[in-house]
Amino acid sequence: MKITVIGPGRAGTAISQHAAAAGLACVLTRSYDLECDVVLLAVPDRVIAAVAAEVPLGPAVGMLSGAAPLALLHPHSRRFVLHPMQTIQPNRSDLQLLGCAAGITASDAELAALAADLACRLGMRPVDVPEEVRPLPHIACVLASNLLVAPLAAALAVLERAGLGPDAAELLGPLAERAVANALAAGPLAAPTGPLARGDRTTIEQHRATLARLDPALAEVYRLLSSAALPLVDPAAAAACAPAVAASA
């Protein structure tokens, strides 16, 4: 299988690294310029249609996007999505995608099998994602990774202001890891612990007042996250804390 990956950014680079490790013939480039069996577009969603249109008909054409509709790969009838469900960092030589899920959507069963086989060769675990449910899995990935960084960054900033910055990862790591593990085990019924779960309005008011004096931006992060967590706790606790969460700083 000869593969051309168009887009030498972080995702395209990671895919090419995995292909090399798997012994696959793979070229990482900025544009299509050679014959191959599979073309994989690792480009921003806004240019997928334009780049796909430049690829001659013949090879199977896929994209890494978890949000863009499969129709953007027109005029290619042999089209698929291989969406790595993993955060990817730049300038790394390790195999960042090893063992992660890969959302597979395809124009037909043959292409679905091809994409799933490619995912396996690259060290990922293929998961069938029907076109009609996309982009929901991508939204879930954003919530579980990109947006998860915001509260962690805020927590690290608070410890930095407390003079505990050098030890922040050691102090918060076990707590964050346990919270994530508990939430994943509980599934959609996951619920927070702490002041919100206890209905402890006084502590929440104290936290917000302290953060408002320290940094209004951190205070707003606390308020927004607390507001999002209210529906996840016991209704009586939520009712007790709601005024403290909703009140202006």
Please, what is the average pLDDT of the chain? 95
Q: Is the pLDDT confidence value at 98 over 60?
A: yes
pLDDT, one tens digit per residue, over 187-214 is 999 999 999 999 999 999 999 999 999 9
- Give the whole-angstrom CA distance, residue 67 versus residue 24: 27
Indicate the Cα dihedral angle 111, 116, 121, 124, nearest 10°: 140
Q: Is the pLDDT confidence value at 28 over 90?
A: yes
DSSP state letter for 66: S
Band (pLDDT 50/70/90 cuts) for residue 16 is very high
- Confidence (pLDDT) at 34: 83
CA 113 to chain CA centroid, Å, is 24
Q: Is the pLDDT confidence value at 94 over 70?
A: yes
Which structure tokens are listed for 139? 């939204």
Helix axis angle, 149-161 to 216-229, nearest 10°: 140
Band (pLDDT 50/70/90 cuts) for residue 33 is confident
pTM for the complete prediction? 0.91
- Confidence (pLDDT) at 249: 57
Amino acid at 99: G
Residues of the chain with CATH 3.40.50.720: 2-134
- Give the whole-angstrom CA distance, residue 56 versus residue 33: 10
For the segment 73-93, the average pLDDT, to the nearest whole number, is 95
Q: Is the pLDDT confidence value at 101 over 70?
A: yes
- Confidence (pLDDT) at 193: 95
- Confidence (pLDDT) at 206: 96
The CATH code belonging to domain 2-134 is 3.40.50.720
